[in-house]
């Protein structure tokens, strides 16, 4: 591989609402290289974009775009956007440029076979380029091939070959020739590795290309091979518009098994609980699946953590989740408050109270909502059935957080009245509440007057 100096692609934006326009430059880096192929007996230019924070210790899927002249920049920009939002894992993008596009990509119209030039290019792609990229960069072994128009037809042909290194193919406006459709049908009967195929067609594209897409669509619908994950989308687009609209959907489809979860998926949570799958087992299984399919080290995020929390059913589960969070995220300022609620959920009330207290002690100067005091007070009074202890808790924290005195006084008086205990403490509290009442608190002044009346009885 012959290295050419780093080439910088600049995006320039203007601040249109400023008094004077200001230029902002965002530099997106890629390397331009040239590879000599013994099969083609010529050089081919490639451009390589590495993800932000690329590190040798990590593994990255690799996305290869044919027609690099116009598909490389959309390819790496789309990949960057999707990975920035964690829709897909961070990936390497390689753009392949053609000296003679027809010679590299031609498929025999009658037979659907490679011709001499495309056969040589296939050998360059699979036997030279992919191995070379793998030898230089920290690749995961999951490879994607993107093609548009003639290169989409070529990509379809690559997919059905017995020996080829691609796990995913994105064909944007392909046209099938000769036996290519039958080859795909035979391919679906034998493939046993996770394979992703995305086909995009356009209503305003050439009729044979749309028809090819619809034929594949029919095969996708009757496919019974669980190793193949296929999708066909028809866009209201012309030939070039298909590439513009389809590339994002195609890349997202290829990585459709790469998922983060959250606690909104009630059906998933219920099914996992029914199967006795705990939070650590679930994330271990999912991480292993991501490694097996995409070759990546799955990075758990806060959404995943929320699902894991929803799967906790006993103290042991919560303790294991605590250890997991500390190992992967450390302790946030809300750590003890979150786990206090988890312990409440599994009815380990003493542990919950302990964690509420730790949260208050560690964050006393930064508590910005009475919620953090109300929860342990209600825990003691309602769930633990210890109203006297609840009043004592409120009295203690009222001294340390006087800015919330109005709320503390209201709760102290209410608990005293409801449980017929510490009535003098409750009466003093409600009198102080009435003297300092502020309607912005949202508390009911007339109700407070009624509490005072009843406590005097």
The 10s digit of each residue's pLDDT in 114-126 is: 999 999 999 999 9
The predicted model scores a pTM of 0.85
Is residue 58 over pLDDT 80? Answer: yes
The pLDDT score that the predictor gives to residue 12 is 32
Alpha-carbon separation of residue 312 from 51, 281, 315, 344, 433 (angstroms)? 35, 11, 8, 11, 40
Which is it for strands 195-202 and 92-96: parallel, antiparallel or unpaired?
unpaired
Taking residues 138-150, what's their average pLDDT? 98
Q: Share the mean pLDDT of the chain.
A: 93
The pLDDT score that the predictor gives to residue 27 is 61
Is residue 150 over pLDDT 90? Answer: yes
Is residue 19 over pLDDT 50? Answer: no
Contacts of 369 (CB under 8 A, 6+ apart): none
Largest CA distance in the chain: 103
Which two structure tokens, joined as six digits, stand for 135?
A: 């030898």
Distance between CA atoms of 132 and 151, rounded to whole angstroms? 21
Place of tokens 């974009």: 49
Distance between CA atoms of 297 and 207, rounded to whole angstroms? 43
Q: Is 94:48 a contact under the CB 8 Å cutoff?
A: yes
pLDDT grade for 152, boundaries at 50, 70 and 90: very high
Q: Is 424:382 a contact under the CB 8 Å cutoff?
A: no
Domains defined along the chain, listed by start: 2-254 (3.40.50.1820), 266-456 (1.25.40.10)
Q: What is the per-residue pLDDT across 399-431, written as a single tens digit (0 to 9) for each?
A: 999 999 999 999 999 999 999 999 999 999 999
Is residue 89 over pLDDT 90? Answer: yes
Higher pLDDT, 365 or 112: 112
Distance between CA atoms of 26 and 8, rounded to whole angstroms? 10
Q: What is the per-residue pLDDT across 275-313, written as a single tens digit (0 to 9) for each?
A: 999 999 999 999 999 999 999 999 999 999 999 999 999
The pLDDT score that the predictor gives to residue 8 is 34
């Amino acid at each position: 591989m012959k290295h050419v100096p780093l080439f910088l692609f600049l995006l320039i934006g203007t601040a249109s609402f400023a008094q004077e326009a200001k230029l902002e430059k965002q530099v997106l880096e890629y390397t331009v290289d040239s590879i000599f192929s013994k099969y083609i007996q010529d050089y081919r230019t490639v451009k390589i974009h590495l993800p932000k924070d690329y590190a040798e210790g990590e593994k990255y899927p690799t996305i290869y775009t044919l027609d690099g002249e116009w598909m490389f920049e959309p390819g790496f920009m789309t990949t960057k956007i999707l990975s920035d939002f964690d829709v897909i894992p961070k990936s390497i993008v390689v753009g392949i440029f053609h000296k003679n596009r027809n010679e590299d990509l031609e498929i025999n119209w009658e037979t659907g076979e490679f011709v001499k030039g495309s056969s040589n290019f296939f050998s360059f792609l699979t036997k030279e380029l992919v191995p070379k990229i793998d030898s230089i960069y920290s690749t995961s072994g999951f490879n994607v091939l993107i093609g548009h128009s003639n290169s989409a037809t070529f990509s379809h042909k690559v997919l059905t070959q017995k020996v080829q290194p691609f796990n995913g193919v994105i064909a944007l406006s392909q046209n099938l020739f000769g036996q290519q459709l039958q080859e795909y049908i035979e391919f679906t009967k034998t493939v046993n590795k996770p394979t992703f195929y995305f086909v995009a067609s356009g209503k305003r594209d050439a009729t044979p290309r749309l028809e090819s897409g619809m034929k594949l669509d029919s095969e996708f619908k009757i496919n019974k091979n669980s190793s193949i994950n296929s999708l066909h989308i028809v866009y209201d687009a012309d030939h070039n518009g298909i590439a513009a609209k389809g590339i994002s959907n195609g890349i997202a489809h290829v990585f459709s098994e790469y998922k983060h979860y959250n606690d909104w998926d009630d059906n998933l949570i219920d099914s996992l609980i029914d199967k006795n799958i705990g939070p650590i087992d679930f994330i271990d299984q999912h991480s292993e699946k991501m490694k097996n399919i995409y070759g990546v080290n799955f990075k758990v995020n806060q959404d995943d953590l929320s699902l894991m929390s929803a799967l906790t059913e006993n103290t042991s589960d919560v303790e294991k989740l605590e250890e997991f969070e500390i190992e992967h995220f450390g302790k946030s300022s809300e750590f003890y408050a979150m786990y206090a609620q988890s312990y409440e959920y599994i009815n380990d009330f003493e542990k919950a109270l302990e964690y509420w207290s730790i949260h208050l002690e560690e964050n006393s100067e930064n508590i910005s909502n009475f919620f953090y005091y109300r929860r342990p007070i209600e825990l003691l009074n309602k769930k633990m059935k210890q109203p006297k202890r609840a009043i004592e808790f409120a009295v203690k924290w009222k001294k340390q957080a006087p800015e919330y005195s109005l709320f503390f006084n209201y709760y102290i008086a209410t608990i005293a009245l409801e449980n017929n205990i510490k009535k003098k403490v409750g009466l003093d509290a409600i009198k102080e509440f009435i003297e300092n009442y502020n309607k912005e608190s949202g508390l009911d002044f007339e109700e407070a007057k009624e509490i005072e009346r009843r406590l005097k009885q």
